[in-house]
Amino acid sequence: MVFMCASLFSVAQDIHFSNWQMSPLNLNPASTGMFDGDGRLIFNYRNQWKSVAVPYNTLSFGADFNLKKSLVKNTEEAVGVIFNHDAAGDGKYTITDFKVPVNHKFSFKKDTTFTFGFGVLAGITNIKLDPDKLSYDKQWDGDAYNQGLSNGEDFPKQSKVFADISLGAVVQKAFGCKAKATIGYGASHINKPNISFYNTPGVVLRTKHNEFLQVRYSFNNISAIIFEYYAHQQQKFRENLVGLSYYRTIDPKTNTVFNVGILTRLKDALITTVGLEYTNMRLQLSYDYNYSSFKPATNGRGGFEISFIYIWAKPKIFVPKTQVCPIYM
């Protein structure tokens, strides 16, 4: 029963990925449309703490599109959709999201290497659990646990839907041909939705703040490194992730790029990554090795992730601004 109360009234944990840069729409609404192309499909799956009796499973699908016609003068707009599903614990506590991010991208004629994006995300979230999956004291018959016995509890509400709103900003800047930096800040749950199944006052999802930084430096046309930093904070709880990835171009003609990386979630886990890019597709795997105080329960094993991104772009037809002699076409 104590576990049940904790599930009902504790602050729910947002989904999170070690491959955070492979889940841009969950990261920040201003990351919507921040790519070269017309559209993008995103898939993420995480299986966490498999050595624990009931592991966490997180699934995410996303898609975003750069709009052809601007809604606001001197900007470019992008819109996306996100579907997330997370299940954890004996009671199958699940979080299901459906959200729509919209981003306005500002470019500047005086500095074409600088881009600023401001995004807004709105959506709905469903939280629920299954009390029948839990065991209770009254189901002990004196000799053994008997699931057929009444649990003696009454749970009139086991599901809730609430609205959720987030804001974010992203800045990109290129420094010559070799270096590029991306920095972002976002605030989730700014409407502080009530997450109690019984609408108990004060049981709200507190605002979560996150920031990230990526700095890419290219040594030449073949190899590059990326420094990564990501952090989020919700009340007194904070997570910091920092690391370095190496990218090596195998075949420039097909844009085949291999990458490996090592990151750490401070005071929690060591993360290794490996990935492959081919033309307009990117696949990345990661694995967490837990070294926190939870290590005895996990045997050092944390979470496995697989992420996939596909970008498409329609061929651009060459239309000269002035009449051109066919011989020079």
For residue 52, give its domain range.
2-136+157-315
Number of domains in the chain: 1
**Domain with 15 in it: what CATH number?**
2.40.160.40
Domain for residue 282, yes or no? yes
Is residue 82 a part of any domain in this protein? Answer: yes
Which residues, in sequence order, are CB contacts of 125 under 8 Å at separation 6+? 95, 96, 97, 98, 161, 162, 163, 164, 193
For residue 29, tell me if it sits in a domain: yes
pLDDT tens sequence across 191-249:
999 998 888 899 999 999 999 999 999 999 999 999 999 999 999 999 999 999 999 99
Residue 233 lies in a domain: yes
0.75 surpassed by pTM: yes
Please report whether residue 322 resides in a domain: no
- 295 lies in some domain: yes
- Of 26, 27, 91, 87, give the one whose Cα is nearest residue 61: 26
Higher pLDDT, 89 or 309: 309
Identify whether 323 is part of a domain: no
- Positive/negative CA dihedral, 141, 145, 147, 151: positive
Per-residue pLDDT tens digits for 61-73 = 999 999 988 877 7
Q: Is the residue at 301 inside a domain?
A: yes
Smallest Cα–Cα separation from 155: which of 203, 97, 93, 201?
Answer: 93
Q: CA-CA distance, 4 to 138, in Å (whole number)?
A: 15
